[in-house]
Structure 1
């Protein structure tokens, strides 16, 4: 081989790189394996290719999708509501809308909507691509409904399409919005948006909303009123200050302030003027024609259940097209309304007596075998009180919660602090203000009228009959508050903000609840522990949507033994205790009274084998949400659960079961437990001792509690003074408020 050939061979050898795992390269720097398919050039090329394909698809869609005719049918349909027998209860009527030109809408009001919904409205092309992309991604991946819509897109959705949250509908909305933005002037689009949006209270469009919330025409709206309407538009059912709960009120205030702050940011509002602006309260809502009496409340209950089951917004529901059949039995509904009228409304003077003017009543009646809500009372009418008292959750259930504590004790096979099983025949100290033992949170609740029950011991049955606070406060500590809360949720109560899960005061019903869920709790006990979920809707039909009702009666929430034992104890409350007012030879009943601190609420929850009914009274200062006492109602004394609520319950139940072959409870699996003998450790204190560590002297069973086979509402030792039924406990005699939660009475 010559020199030339040798030189070439050496150069070839030098250029040939050795193999190396670290570089991942083969001959002459060549990539190997999966790296051959992923280079920055290829990744960037693929990315831009996808972008071009997407743009091409959008261009194709732009020419393929035509601007449709207005969605007039969806905007003008009514919803039809029927009773269980098929007779029509109500229609929500012709759409409440009056189209107004943009010139009638004050400039500040228009700017407020733009500020909170779409600040770039006058500059954009009708769409927000980043918002659309984010919304589509969330919809496709199941992370939530699509969002990011401009005012133009919302107008297109309202006027041309529907409220469905699907990727297909979103793409159509995008393309049509681009076309609408090219064809229409911005002020025309804004007018269309404000005239088609749903504001709640049955009001479509800004003119109807101005009348519904402030009783004025749109051209008379102030800046603050317009800002509130812009805020309420996002969630009308939750943000209406007339019915909003604490969270809804908080959120709408945040959004209202957001409207004004954004206007300042847009230089459309002077910062100094902004500081002076306050949220203006809307006027009281008025019932729509055909929604007088209980019909409006029944519609509210059906709408709430339908939205909950389908995930619809209020606006989607108000678009119409639904035929909704309720479980409401017209005869039982009439009987409930008559019972409230006869036993309460006819006895009070709302015009001349301030205490009577504050009285609100609510009730729910359920068939425990099916879960059907057969009757419901929401108040005197939507024009008087917009929110249904049957569904309100701003009051506490009081001592009607005590059976839940007992159910949890039985379900968990709990023992007293001295190691004895908690049963209806278990013994507890009934001394008023007795400090509980075993709790990290100090608690020494006062019994009604500061009475001491027992000598000092009495059975759980007797303590339930007389609703002895000190006994149940100790029992919840023995069981464990967290276990009791778990049982409550299993039985159907809701876990709302403020539930005192780790405090013994929970035994006295210091959480919030409404008559519907408490009816579910007691219906579950009535159904031998099978979970009963009260349902307002029997069926619901719509041409474009499906409705799948919940399973009204499910599996065991608690064992039959637990449920039947609690029911047996509650029959004692009716036969010999605080519920004697409902006792009748026409039926066998179980029940529990409940009255909250300061007598701001009074409950009676009772049931027969055929029917479960919860009746409640609430003290609400007229025109405000402030709670006030019921004491003095109808010129009497303390209006507890054994007064008007029990009387309404009895009158209704007798009428509802008239002609029915009523039965008796099958309580074959109830276990009352063996009689117990008190020991020195049974009670941490005697009635005369203030020390939690000083045991009482032993007392014979005959001195402590009634015969286990008999129940008596009276303490085995007379109270320190005779309870005056016209008076509430003296708040000046209650324990240190920094250490003891609110005191509730039977």
Structure 2
């Protein structure tokens, strides 16, 4: 055994010696590998050509010494006295590559420079062995200063910037020679994940991570005695926040948003297939000569842009009303049968608003989350507190501000309905139609919030870091139009998981990347998914979307399911809806143009009565209707369910039965009834189920709470027939 071990060691050493002799340092080719990427519509016509390389090398002497140290502190504290390789990190990377697990382990600055300048980002054993040998030779041939200069001049920093000079201009509008330590630390931190850490587009997680990385860099500088502790203590991250970016030629209008999402999805696939880190994947995609065909349908893309313009942006006048300048729109349209993103609206213009509203996750989806709660109830065969099965006809207490109970115990949550409307005993169908918060808050506890959030995750919501608490029943988490479109597409696709994909094919000169099938496994039963769809037809034909969608003159018999959502203080408003062959999620977001903070949209476009609330049933639903009814034909849902507004009753039920348990407060109205959608799209007024069950809980005295997302329906005092709470302009 000892002889075998020693023999293997000698064989390994001999193999390395031979490899060292055979592998020479190649000519640098970083700039030569950079070529324009071509992006195409689904029909093959060119959408954009992006790739004007933004690179300018600078002498290391022009970069302040403390800024040089930020990169060493971030990536390789032993750089000035190591041999050019990290043996343990390299061994870990080789093992991960051979075993097919994860990303390469840590690398020295020399190794990263070799990858950037001499090799490529491919994650293969051969490439890693070459990297090791070339790194050793480069470390012997070049000084540490030359290597560091090469590293910071060839690294990719995001915003299409290669090298520290281009990065200094892209992020701070200054030369590398004028960078402060705080700014240098930010650029050094950025190299770990350029797009995710870019402050202008980073989500909450990205912003937290880049701040942590920034602190890590400066603290390491103190440990290495490159930075005075007192000076470090006085440094604040706000002094490192960069300027807003400028768009790259070819990315004007909506093109930049489409290109951005395509790049992100391709990068994610490279990370999954080849074990690349995020920064490696970005460097391997941007300006690398890819031909990327998108799933975007040119006709539908144009129709979506026109719908946003005619129904919203043409009505905004920031000079007349300050609030109008704070309204941002985002939308994603998906084919539920294929999972293809066929149209996307990311904002007014990529050059004017870099943040993609279609993929941002920092606003509450509000009541568009309610169908997920119902799906969880149906999937888990949940029951009310009194043991009654939860379905479309189950009676709940719709009293506003009603305390949510868990088997007699108060959970400390008593959400109001919109405008504090009391509904009294109400069916689940009608509660969905009218978006009754008190009902779904109680339903979430009945089902179990852990099960609700598990179902949300199965349907496609990113629930990482979310707490399974009753407040989530009102959609108080963050979500994007892309995310919500995927969840509703899964409902539309009878419970088969839909992960929206914008990339159709991605090809490079010597390879192509196989993109995963957007249609996945059955994540909830067909009956549960189809029942949710059936119930959501009631929201359109009889509820909060009736005026803008059901009664829309453009409707040509299309059967529609959907849900409105309006968050607390009117900071976001949504309509996510679908026909049998198209799912589209539209969101409006109140965003301060200077601080990017969330602000109210109340009174935008001069809505009356002042200040008019921008509900999900107003502009989001109108955008959705103009777009959808313009690109779809008459179709009916193929539903496997006996419940919900879309199901025709076999007989005429009555409402003569009185609930056996009377509420303690007199209901404000008789129990509302569900209706069914007729084939022509005009609702009939026949209730679909007889409410024969008692309310799930006896109401207590109303105890309204504030600060939670709300959505419901009230009559406009200036227009009683208008149920979207808009009023007249």
Q: TM-score range by the shorter chain?
A: 0.7 to 0.9
**Alignment-derived partner of residue 298 in structure 1:** 258
Deviation at 1:594, TM superposition (A): 0.4
**Alignment-derived partner of residue 645 in structure 1:** 620
Deviation at 1:283, TM superposition (A): 0.2
Distance 1:116 1:371 in 2: 40
**Alignment-derived partner of residue 145 in structure 2:** 187
**Alignment-derived partner of residue 630 in structure 2:** 655
Distance 2:686 2:253 in 1: 41
Deviation at 1:173, TM superposition (A): 1.0
- Equivalent of residue 641 in structure 2, options 669, 691, 699: 669
Is 1:618 the equivalent of 2:596? no
**Alignment-derived partner of residue 533 in structure 1:** 499
Alignment of 1:275-294 (within 5 A): 275-279=233-237, 280-294=240-254
**Alignment-derived partner of residue 152 in structure 1:** 110
**Alignment-derived partner of residue 560 in structure 2:** 589
Tell me the SS of whatever aligns to 1:84: coil
Deviation at 1:547, TM superposition (A): 1.9
**Alignment-derived partner of residue 486 in structure 2:** 520
Structure with bigger gyration radius: 1
Deviation at 1:51, TM superposition (A): 4.7
Tell me the SS of whatever aligns to 2:338: coil
Is 1:679 the equivalent of 2:650? no
**Alignment-derived partner of residue 348 in structure 1:** 316
Once the two structures are superposed, residues 661-712 of structure 1 have per-residue CA deviations (whole angstroms, 9 ceiling, x without a partner) of: 422223363434987845344x7x4336xxxxxxx9xx9xx94333766669
- Equivalent of residue 350 in structure 2, options 361, 369, 382: 382
Tell me the SS of whatever aligns to 1:68: coil
Distance 1:707 1:540 in 2: 48
Distance 1:103 1:555 in 2: 57
Distance 2:270 2:379 in 1: 34
Distance 1:201 1:112 in 2: 20
Deviation at 1:133, TM superposition (A): 2.9
Does structure 1 retain, via aligned residues, the 8 Å contact 2:367–2:709? no
Tell me the SS of whatever aligns to 1:175: helix
Deviation at 1:592, TM superposition (A): 0.9
Tell me the SS of whatever aligns to 1:257: helix
Q: What TM-score does the superposition give when structure 1 sets the normalisation length?
A: 0.84
Q: What TM-score does the superposition give when structure 2 sets the normalisation length?
A: 0.86
Is 1:464 the equivalent of 2:432? yes
**Alignment-derived partner of residue 47 in structure 2:** 89
Tell me the SS of whatever aligns to 1:180: helix
Once the two structures are superposed, residues 481-507 of structure 1 have per-residue CA deviations (whole angstroms, 9 ceiling, x without a partner) of: 222223323322222212x32x22222
Is 1:633 the equivalent of 2:633? no
Deviation at 1:53, TM superposition (A): 4.1
Is 1:556 the equivalent of 2:522? yes
Deviation at 1:147, TM superposition (A): 2.6
**Alignment-derived partner of residue 176 in structure 1:** 134
**Alignment-derived partner of residue 413 in structure 1:** 381
Is 1:433 the equivalent of 2:433? no
* Closer, same or farther: CA 459–293 of 1 in aligned 2, 3 Å: same
Is 1:452 the equivalent of 2:422? yes
* Closer, same or farther: CA 563–141 of 1 in aligned 2, 3 Å: closer
Distance 1:259 1:398 in 2: 38
Higher alpha-carbon deviation: 436-445 or 263-272:
436-445
Provide structure 1 residue ranges, at least 5 long, that are not aligned to the other structure.
1-36, 689-695, 714-732
Alignment of 1:492-503 (within 5 A): 492-498=460-466, 500-501=467-468, 503=469
Tell me the SS of whatever aligns to 1:539: strand
**Alignment-derived partner of residue 34 in structure 1:** none
Tell me the SS of whatever aligns to 2:527: helix
Distance 2:261 2:399 in 1: 43
**Alignment-derived partner of residue 692 in structure 1:** none
* Closer, same or farther: CA 253–330 of 1 in aligned 2, 3 Å: same
Deviation at 1:196, TM superposition (A): 0.7
CA RMSD of aligned residues (A): 2.5
* Closer, same or farther: CA 50–462 of 1 in aligned 2, 3 Å: same
Tell me the SS of whatever aligns to 1:90: strand
Higher alpha-carbon deviation: 472-481 or 334-343:
472-481
Alignment of 1:485-496 (within 5 A): 485-496=453-464
Once the two structures are superposed, residues 513-570 of structure 1 have per-residue CA deviations (whole angstroms, 9 ceiling, x without a partner) of: 1111211221222223332222111111124444222222344333333222222222
Once the two structures are superposed, residues 134-180 of structure 1 have per-residue CA deviations (whole angstroms, 9 ceiling, x without a partner) of: 43334334453223322221111111100112222121111111222
- Equivalent of residue 78 in structure 1, options 19, 25, 36: 36
Tell me the SS of whatever aligns to 1:76: coil
Does structure 1 retain, via aligned residues, the 8 Å contact 2:591–2:599? yes
Does structure 2 retain, via aligned residues, the 8 Å contact 1:446–1:743? no
Distance 1:74 1:624 in 2: 40
Once the two structures are superposed, residues 551-593 of structure 1 have per-residue CA deviations (whole angstroms, 9 ceiling, x without a partner) of: 2234433333322222222222111211011124412222110
Alignment of 1:106-145 (within 5 A): 106-145=64-103
Does structure 1 retain, via aligned residues, the 8 Å contact 2:564–2:711? no
Provide structure 2 residue ranges, at least 5 long, that are not aligned to the other structure.
677-683, 688-701, 713-729
**Alignment-derived partner of residue 362 in structure 1:** 330
Distance 1:707 1:489 in 2: 29
Tell me the SS of whatever aligns to 1:603: strand
Does structure 1 retain, via aligned residues, the 8 Å contact 2:111–2:135? yes
Does structure 2 retain, via aligned residues, the 8 Å contact 1:366–1:374? yes
- Equivalent of residue 705 in structure 1, options 663, 666, 672: 672
Tell me the SS of whatever aligns to 2:588: strand
Distance 2:685 2:245 in 1: 49
Once the two structures are superposed, residues 311-362 of structure 1 have per-residue CA deviations (whole angstroms, 9 ceiling, x without a partner) of: 1521121251321110101111111111111111111123453322221110
Tell me the SS of whatever aligns to 2:587: strand
Aligned residues: 662
Once the two structures are superposed, residues 282-332 of structure 1 have per-residue CA deviations (whole angstroms, 9 ceiling, x without a partner) of: 000111011011111001111111122221521121251321110101111
Does structure 1 retain, via aligned residues, the 8 Å contact 2:297–2:343? yes
* Closer, same or farther: CA 423–135 of 1 in aligned 2, 3 Å: closer
**Alignment-derived partner of residue 57 in structure 1:** 15
